Amino acid sequence: MFHKEGFGLIILFFLLVTIDIIMLEVLLDDSSSLKLILQIFSLLIFVFILWFFRNPKRNIKKNPELILSPADGKVISIKEVDELEYFKDKKIQISIFLSPLDIHVNRYPVSGEILYSKYHKGEYLVAWHPKSSVNNERTTVVIKNKKFGEVMYRQIAGTIARRIVNYAKVNYNVEQGDDSGFIKFGSRVDLFLSKDSNLKINIGDKVKGGLTIIS
């Protein structure tokens, strides 16, 4: 199964690879090793596109007592920060880095009502840069949850990622674990929780969206 955000690119690359293979057949001799190398390279690019936009079905067990990971990836930072965009207060920031090999579907960490959803233009620093959370192109979403209050997450573009897709709309109710958006070709998701949160993860942990318990 593939994510809907990849359908256009999958079709485009399928057509390009098909044309490339046909043109190589026409232009190069059958005995040419270069032809075979170029054809294999084209196919590998197409396979990578398919792999990147994969969206395997997950058995997500919604639990109102837990906060689940909003993304697949590696926890690269857990620290107390001054969150100045929305809360204007100190929060615990959990940063999850998504490599190009990770599944890039983003998911709602809790159920509730969307109070805030905003897109920001910005730079394209590497995703693990300390300032990328506030300087890079990004979207910020706040969900009002019955148990945890206001929970915020932020999708952050990186050096390669230049396309953030955010489905959250203000005043809409969302369900924990459901698809909240997509970041194309590697980036980062930050989760902002209260300082007294009982975290279940550590720096260096691999997490899975909708499955791994954050708090």
- Where in the chain are the domains? 4-52, 73-207
| CA 113 to each of CA 21, 136, 139, 161, 166: distance values in angstroms, whole numbers, following the listed order | 50, 26, 17, 28, 15
The secondary element (H helix, E strand) that includes residue 33 is helix 33-52
Return d(Cα 201, Cα 172) in angstroms, integer.
29
User: What mean pLDDT, rounded, does the chain reach?
Assistant: 89
Give me the pLDDT at residue 88, please.
Answer: 95
- Which residues have a Cβ under 8 Å from the Cβ of 160 and sit 6 or more positions away? 100, 185, 186, 187
User: Residue 197 burial by CB count (10 A; 0-12/13-18/19+): exposed, middle or buried?
Assistant: middle
Of the pLDDT bands very low, low, confident and very high (cuts 50, 70, 90), residue 199 is very high
Give me the pLDDT at residue 160, please.
Answer: 63
Angle at 186 between CA 74 and CA 169, to 5 degrees: 95
Q: Residues 58-70: pLDDT tens digits?
A: 999 999 999 999 9
Give me the pLDDT at residue 32, please.
Answer: 72
- pTM confidence score: 0.86
- Considering only the top CATH level, what class is 73-207? mainly beta
Q: Residues 109-151: pLDDT tens digits?
A: 999 999 999 999 877 666 666 666 777 889 999 999 999 999 9
Of the pLDDT bands very low, low, confident and very high (cuts 50, 70, 90), residue 51 is confident
Give me the pLDDT at residue 91, please.
Answer: 97
**Are 139 and 155 in contact, with CB atoms under 8 Å apart?**
yes
Catalytic residues: 187
For a pLDDT cut of 90, what percent of the chain falls above it?
A: 58
- Res 87 pLDDT > 80: yes
Return d(Cα 136, Cα 27) in angstroms, integer.
44
- Which pair of tokens denotes residue 139? 């979207």
